[in-house]
């Protein structure tokens, strides 16, 4: 099953799409990675869903990635005596640590002592996805006194966001820790970490994961933006979580941040996923708005590794149509006359390593000689990611004996993944690359391909060889 686009598609599974037949239809429509949202999935449902995806993968004979998205801390106000209150701009409103009483128009219980201890005078508190805004005027004694900046209706257990406050709590709650261990037991390929504020949040998770899955940092907090470069370096991939970013930061700054994150991830060779509200109207409509199509197009033009569907595929009425639409948009963008020039303009210089120099040279050789494909042998996945970082105009085929590596690479731009045994020598390596390029429909007899690998073969991260090979009539190769 060969994709004709480079950008990958993540589809979230949920009530509308967790059945095996639907998962198969979504994969055929274009989904490369499936996201399981641990905010809504029990451990039993997690294992059940992973098993269904793996059966679909076996039938389609095409590697499929699985992403478990951890919930992160959920900060919420408590309940009101009447179920809700109306706050008016300019009025005083208190959030306190008194758990006995239900809230009213003057106060409400805030069951998060870490917030009460961390907020400073002048800090903003955003309620209900930013629909209401409070400003702290006095703090201390287990109380935050505020003035309402933007009022409105506030009902039971609505969320609290703190764009100006660095909380001392880590990104992993007890629930997240249990979900993480269960996801590793289920052998998912990626772990998405919510509520990342600092590099230490990534380090804590990496200690638990120990290489068994890729660690993806969701950038959704202003505090993460302040230390973005450190977080990118420590993560295996980044998710641009625009919905939450747009709550805590001015909306008009989010497009620029998206562009900055994509370019930074490309510079460091880290996969980057653009997420949230990409085709939001398709939750209830079979076609998207023109603005949504433009939004997806921009992410593809910028060279994002993947674009993601959330409620559109999880609980929407048209999950298959949403994936198919995203697929069509990506194909159209990548066929556009301006696409290659825009991608090339954002090209970053290779780092001073043999692996980066070989990857950059491979792209140039493949394009100059008009080769049919770039075939990269990769044990850990790093060689494949380096090849994708160059954003070549030629297809990339990643070969690995490690099924986990192949599945993890399914989120990476432009990579067609194939599991194969390790080559026993250089001649076998050339033959195997040519045969697979021929069998997978990338090369015909008489075509030439570029082959990159690390010698000695099977050495992780040691890309140091570039070969050009001819595909013979029998599909084997000669160099």
- Which residues belong to the active site? 35, 76, 218, 276
> How many residues does the structure list for the chain?
479
396 pairs with which residues across the strands?
Answer: 374, 415
Report the distance separating Cα 426 and Cα 393, nearest Å: 26
**What is the DSSP secondary-structure string of 123-138?**
-EEEETTTTEEEEEEE
Helices (H), 61-190: 113-118, 174-185
Where do the DSSP E strands lie in 276-394?
A: 306-309, 373-377
Element (H, E) at 471: strand 463-471
Element (H, E) at 91: none
Answer whether 308's CB lies under 8 Å from 275's CB: yes
Structure-token match 């069998």, residue found: 439
Answer whether 75's CB lies under 8 Å from 159's CB: yes
Copy the structure tokens of residue 420: 């194969």
Burial of 260 (0-12, 13-18, 19+ CB in 10 A): middle
């Amino acid at each position: 099953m060969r994709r004709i686009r480079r950008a990958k598609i993540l589809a979230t599974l949920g009530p509308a799409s967790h059945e095996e037949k639907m998962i198969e239809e979504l994969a055929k429509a274009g989904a490369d990675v499936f996201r399981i949202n641990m905010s809504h999935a029990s451990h039993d449902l997690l294992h059940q869903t992973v098993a269904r995806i793996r059966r679909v993968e076996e039938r389609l004979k095409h590697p499929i990635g699985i992403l478990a998205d951890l919930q992160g801390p959920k900060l919420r106000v408590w309940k009101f005596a009447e179920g809700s209150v109306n706050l008016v701009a300019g009025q005083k409103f208190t959030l306190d640590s008194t758990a006995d009483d239900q809230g009213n128009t003057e106060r409400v219980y805030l069951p998060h002592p870490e917030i009460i201890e961390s907020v400073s005078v002048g800090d903003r508190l955003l309620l209900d996805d930013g629909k209401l805004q409070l400003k702290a005027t006095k703090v201390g004694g287990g109380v935050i006194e505020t003035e309402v900046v933007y009022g409105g209706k506030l009902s039971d257990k609505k969320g609290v966001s703190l764009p100006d406050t660095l909380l001392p709590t880590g990104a992993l709650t007890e629930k997240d820790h249990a979900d993480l261990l269960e996801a590793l037991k289920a052998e998912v390929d990626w772990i998405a970490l919510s509520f990342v504020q600092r590099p230490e949040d990534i380090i804590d998770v990496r200690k638990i994961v120990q290489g068994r899955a890729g660690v993806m940092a969701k950038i959704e907090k202003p505090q993460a933006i302040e230390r973005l470069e450190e977080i990118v370096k420590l993560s295996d991939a980044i998710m641009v979580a625009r919905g939450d970013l747009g709550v805590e930061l001015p909306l008009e700054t989010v497009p620029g941040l998206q562009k900055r994150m994509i370019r930074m991830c490309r510079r460091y060779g880290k996969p980057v996923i653009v997420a949230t509200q990409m085709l939001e109207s398709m939750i209830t409509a079979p076609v998207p708005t023109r603005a949504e199509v433009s939004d997806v197009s921009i992410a593809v033009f910028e060279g994002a590794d993947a674009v993601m569907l959330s409620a559109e595929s999880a609980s929407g009425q048209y999950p298959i149509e949403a994936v198919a639409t995203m697929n069509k948009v990506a194909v159209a963008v990548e066929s556009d006359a301006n696409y290659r020039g825009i991608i090339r303009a954002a090209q970053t210089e290779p780092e001073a390593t043999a692996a980066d120099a070989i990857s950059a040279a491979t792209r140039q050789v493949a394009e100059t000689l008009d080769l049919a494909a770039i075939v990269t042998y990769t044990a850990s996945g790093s060689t494949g990611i380096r090849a994708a970082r160059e954003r070549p105009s030629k297809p990339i085929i990643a070969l690995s004996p490690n099924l986990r590596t192949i599945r993890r690479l399914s989120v990476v731009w432009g990579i067609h993944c194939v599991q194969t045994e390790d080559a026993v020598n250089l001649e076998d390596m050339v033959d195997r690359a040519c045969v697979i390029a021929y069998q997978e429909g990338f090369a015909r007899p008489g075509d030439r391909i570029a082959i990159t690998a690390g010698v000695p073969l099977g050495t992780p991260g040691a890309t140091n060889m570039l070969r050009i090979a001819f595909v013979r009539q029998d599909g084997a190769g000669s160099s």
